[in-house]
């Protein structure tokens, strides 16, 4: 469960206030909130897809998921 929470918490890509590095980039007035949303949604979807692939392949090897589900 800790591994899952670590992945979910680190998916702060969509809004400028989700992560300190986003706030720094937004503070330079080079980017607009629209830019963060556009690229953040794509990156978040890829990250969620990788999380599902990771959960379906690696976690059973580690014994986290059982066949009783």
List b or e across 6-25, with b for residues whose CB sees 16 or more CB atoms inside 10 angstroms. Answer: eeeeeebbbebebbeebeee
pLDDT at 4 over 80: no
pTM score, whole prediction: 0.66
Confidence of residue 27 (pLDDT cuts 50, 70, 90): very high
Going from the C-alpha of 58 to that of each of 2, 39, 54, the distances in angstroms are 15, 28, 5
Percent of the chain whose predicted confidence (pLDDT) is above 70: 86
Q: What is the mean pLDDT of residues 42-61?
A: 84
Structure tokens at 67: 């066949």
What does the block give as tokens for 43?
A: 């990156």
């Amino acid at each position: 469960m800790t591994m899952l929470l670590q992945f979910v918490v680190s998916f702060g890509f969509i809004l400028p206030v989700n992560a300190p590095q986003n706030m720094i980039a937004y503070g330079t007035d080079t980017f607009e909130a629209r830019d963060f949303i556009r690229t953040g949604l794509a990156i978040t979807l890829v990250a969620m897809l990788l999380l599902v692939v990771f959960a379906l392949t690696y976690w059973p090897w580690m014994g986290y998921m059982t066949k009783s589900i």
